[in-house]
Amino acid sequence: MKTCYFDYNATAPLRPEARDAWLSATEDLWLNPSSPYRAAARVHAHLAEARARVAGLFAVAAERVVFNSGATEANNAIFAHWAATLPADASIGVSPTEHPSVLAAAQHFFGERVTWLALNGNGAVDVAALKNVLCERQLAAVSAMAANNETGILNDWTAIATACRTQGVMTHCDASQWIGKLPLDGLRSYDFVTGAAHKFGGPKGVGLCLLPAENSGFMSLKGGYQEFGYRAGTEDVAGILAMVAALEVAQLGSADGRDAFLLKLRQALPSVEVIGMEAERLWNTALLIMPEFASVRWIRALEKRGFLVSAGSACSTGKQGPSPVLAAMGVPAAAMQRVLRVSSGWATSVADWLALAAAIAECDSELSCESADSNSTVISI
Ligand code: PLP
């Protein structure tokens, strides 16, 4: 049975270009790039070239690009840096729909000094409300993601960056779900930008962070002088080259498949709700509230047919209570039990999307029969 993967927001399969770059670097560029001999200087040159290619894509100076292990590390490091360098009573603004790696780091380092940013009716940061807060309160920094991993809802991050810059407020944008899906133009207007290779077809455990143009005293890991002293640790050159290869071929996608899926799905199951239907969303994501049956039953029934979908953030599945993102958007607790997230990527076709719609309709019949059977069993006992 063919597996149809619909959980790209959790992680994407490795792109062939990334695999080729990784294999060739693993064979050929395995020396420590900081070693003193010429052969290692060649590895260092590849690393520098990879940094220049990333800098070119974001249109920033190469010194702003730091390679690391991914977005969780970078998000934590930024809040740790702010906690260490901002005044002891400084408050920061954070969107309540951030990824757990931002929410937890913000709470850990700033506790009561976090101001939760208001959302608009579409579940994005309310820019007008943010402007008011920036005028009224002394926020020292603001963190707002580019695109949400659960709902796909996009923040108006250009307006957020402009509003903060006008007030001289430091900014961070977790762009993990944006990078590789939508144009990178403009992200450089944030002081800090974080991203993860495995979200766009690069390897896991590799990521990137853009730092402020001026030296900020940022230090993510202490130790050796790798990454200009911003992040100690021997660089994973093969992983970094694979990440850059994936980023360079990342196509800007189209919503055609997702929208055809939604049309077909709602013909079969008209009472399926789509979170953020009216909002600007990632082209690859649909967060559904199913009319009946718990998420886990849908996930299992779909997996039996070869479709892998999720119930929201992979980081929270089975480990935490209801999604803080959906709670912040006012989704009722009962509805959260019936959520399905489907997200596509570079290897998904429109035919895959249509097959998923058909499979969901089949699962609905199967789950309804199961429920009818279990009800009749209860009666007969
Ligand atoms: N931020 C967002 C928006 C994400 O979707 C993820 C992935 O789960 C992360 C951060 C964490 O990324 P990583 O897996 O690189 O730690």
Residue 175's domain is classified under what CATH number?
A: 3.40.640.10
- The three-class DSSP label of residue 121 is coil
pLDDT value for 215: 73
Could you tell me if 35 and 170 lie in one domain?
yes
DSSP H helices in the chain:
16-28, 38-58, 71-85, 100-110, 127-136, 157-166, 237-249, 256-268, 295-304, 324-328, 333-336, 350-380
Is residue 134 within 8 Å of 101, Cβ to Cβ? no
**267 with 183, same domain?**
no
Backbone torsions φ then ψ of 316, nearest 5 degrees: -100, -15
The finding on whether 143 has its CB within 6 A of some atom of ligand 1 is no
User: Are 179 and 258 part of one and the same domain?
Assistant: no
**Ligand 1 near 70 CB (within 6 A):** yes
Ligand 1 atom closest to Cα of residue 72: 16
> Of how many residues is the chain composed?
381
Question: What pLDDT digit, counting tens, does each position of 311-325 carry?
Answer: 976 555 555 568 899
Per-residue pLDDT of the chain (381 residues; tens, 9 = 90+): 889 999 999 999 999 999 999 999 999 999 999 999 999 999 999 999 999 999 999 999 999 999 999 999 999 999 999 999 999 999 999 999 999 999 999 999 999 999 999 999 999 999 999 999 999 878 999 999 999 999 999 999 999 999 999 999 999 999 999 999 999 999 999 999 999 999 999 999 999 999 998 877 899 999 999 999 999 999 999 999 999 999 999 978 899 999 999 999 999 999 999 999 999 999 999 999 999 999 999 999 999 999 999 997 655 555 556 889 999 999 999 999 999 999 999 999 999 999 999 999 999 999 999 877 776 554 433
Give the residue, by CA position, lying nearest to ligand 1 atom 10: 71
Residue 277 burial (10 A CB sphere; 0-12, 13-18, 19+): exposed
Last residue of a domain, one of 219, 249, 279: 249
Does the beta carbon of 220 lie inside 6 Å of ligand 1? no
CATH of the domain at 312: 3.90.1150.10
Distance, in Å, from the CA atom of 285 to the CA atom of 288, rounded to the nearest integer, reads: 10
User: Can you name the residues that pair with 342 across neighbouring β-strands?
Assistant: 286
Q: Which numbered atom of ligand 1 lies nearest the CA of 10? A: 8
Q: What are phi and psi of 152, to 5 degrees?
A: 80, 0
pLDDT of 314 reads 56
The DSSP symbol for 110 reads: H
- Structure tokens of 155? 């923040």
**Token digits for 48?**
């520098």
pLDDT of residue 379: 43
Domain that holds residue 231: 16-249
Q: Quote the ligand 1 centre to 370 CA distance (angstroms).
A: 36
Six-digit token string for 318: 């089975």
Contact 221, 182 (CB under 8 A): no
Determine if ligand 1 sits within 6 Å of the CB of residue 71: yes
Cα three-residue angle 37-40-43, rounded to 5 degrees: 160
Nearest in space to 172 (alpha carbons), one of 104, 106, 87, 243: 106
Tokens of 210: 């853009």
Q: What pLDDT is attached to residue 374?
A: 72
Distance 208 CA to ligand 1 centre (A): 12
Asked if residue 207 has its Cβ within 6 Å of ligand 1, the reply is yes
Give pTM, 2 decimals.
0.95
- 3-state DSSP helix/strand/coil % of the chain, to nearest 5: 45, 15, 40
Whether 269 and 357 map to the same domain: the answer is: yes
Q: What pLDDT does 380 receive?
A: 37
Same domain, yes or no: 188 and 282 = no
Active-site residue, 315 included: yes
Distance in angstroms (rounded) separating the CA atoms of residues 287 and 149: 10
User: Do 371 and 225 reside in the same domain of the chain?
Assistant: no
Specify whether 236 is located in the same domain as 188: yes
Quick one: three-class SS letters along 184-197?
Answer: CCCHHHCCEEEEEH
Q: Show which of 249, 272, 294 is a domain's final residue.
A: 249
**Residue nearest (by alpha carbon) to ligand 1 atom 15:** 70
- How many domains, in total, are found in the chain? 2
